[in-house]
Amino acid sequence: MTGKTPLVVILGPTAVGKTAYAIAVAQALNGEIVSADSRQIYRHMDIGTAKPTAEQQALVPHHLIDVVEPDETLSAAEFQRLAYRAIDGIWQRGRLPLLVGGTGQYISAVVEGWTIPEVPPNPALRAELEQLAAREGLGAVVERLQALDPTALENIDQRNPRRVIRAIEIVAATGQPLAGQRHKQPPPYDILQLGLTMNRERLYARADRRLEDMMRAGFLEEVSALLAAGYDPHLPSMSGLGYRQLAAHLRGECSLEAALAATKRANRDFIRRQYTWFRGHDDGIHWFDVEETPAETLVEMIRDWLEHREG
């Protein structure tokens, strides 16, 4: 035995079925789940984030769900710190920690041990950049980042406004290139990474069906309640798949049909970006097609790994 804490990672694109697999694994192996989902951290945002239901959370302890309000933020550094604390606590209780989700940056921050600068948000700069993006498009914000740090775009998704703006905040606050501030110091864990996947077209169709299920479950009403509570539709939390589109419909900017069509397109684009991230960080991920692999297969693989970890 290595003496290190074992950590099982279950990752994959949105709508592939991670929650059901993770719960089955946790129940079979006395585990607890640490969510690695940048949307499920928000309170009051349950349906559209595909948050595990109260019944599912009652089956297995879950961590890092409902951490902040929709108008608050949680940086990757803060997530990493909370995740380490949760993982260590789970193991100290004699249970198996499972890191589960599809947010590549969160997963990589934990698994690769990123050293992330602790730079607080700059509301004034953030508002300025958001206005620039609204007025001239995201390309203008990307150009601002390139002017500050020509190599920054090699390390972030330049199609993600939140990531671009956050990069500008960090570079502006520290005066140093982004790449020079991010180092890796692998955490003291034995890590087994399991990836869930399926045929891309069928995954797209599955995501479409899930959106339809969300609508029947009250997704539109959830967005309406958030707006009624005073949450600005331009908050980072409201950029989640479906939230901004449905908010636009509720404000009379588009039909419900157009909002749903835009959400389905956004789902597809998000899935493509998730796969791109996983390919770039695929250091020993064992991939399983969910249409061919029952949860029991993952359970047996994990059980064997736990029994044969080498010292």
> Greater confidence, 9 or 117?
9
Same domain, 243 and 264: yes
pLDDT of residue 289: 98
User: How many structural domains are present in the chain?
Assistant: 2
Residue 75: both structure tokens together? 């940086």
Same domain, 103 and 52: yes
Q: What is the CATH number of the domain that holds 259?
A: 3.40.50.300
Kindly state the average pLDDT of the residues 240-255: 96
Same domain, 295 and 271: yes
The dihedral of CA 12, 41, 192, 59: what is its sign? Answer: negative
| pLDDT tens figures, 288-298 | 999 999 999 99
Same domain, 99 and 131: no
Same domain, 35 and 134: no
> Greater confidence, 132 or 57?
57
Kindly state the average pLDDT of the residues 151-166: 79
Interatomic CA distance for residues 103 and 270, integer angstroms: 10
> Greater confidence, 77 or 9?
9
Kindly state the average pLDDT of the residues 266-281: 94
Interatomic CA distance for residues 304 and 300, integer angstroms: 6
Q: What is the CATH number of the domain that holds 146?
A: 1.10.20.140
Q: Edge-to-edge strand order for the sheet containing 5-11?
A: 62-63, 31-35, 96-101, 5-11, 189-197, 286-289
| pLDDT tens figures, 44-76 | 999 999 999 999 999 999 999 999 999 998 988
pLDDT of 153 > 80? The answer is: no
Report yes or no: 278 and 195 within 8 Å, Cβ to Cβ: yes
> Strand ranges (DSSP E) for 102-235?
114-115, 183-184, 189-197
Which amino acid is present at 298?
A: L
Residue at a domain's end among 162, 181, 200: 181
Interatomic CA distance for residues 210 and 193, integer angstroms: 26
What residues have CB less than 8 Å from 15, skipping those under 6 apart? 50, 203, 206, 207, 210, 267, 271
Report residue 173's pLDDT band, with 50, 70 and 90 as the boundaries: confident
Same domain, 192 and 300: yes
**Which position has the token pair 């908050």?**
235
130-134 long-range contacts (CB < 8 A, ≥24 apart) are: 130/161, 130/165, 130/234, 133/161, 133/165
DSSP tag of 219: H
pLDDT of residue 311: 44
Provide the residue range defining the domain that includes 168: 123-181
> Greater confidence, 227 or 135?
227
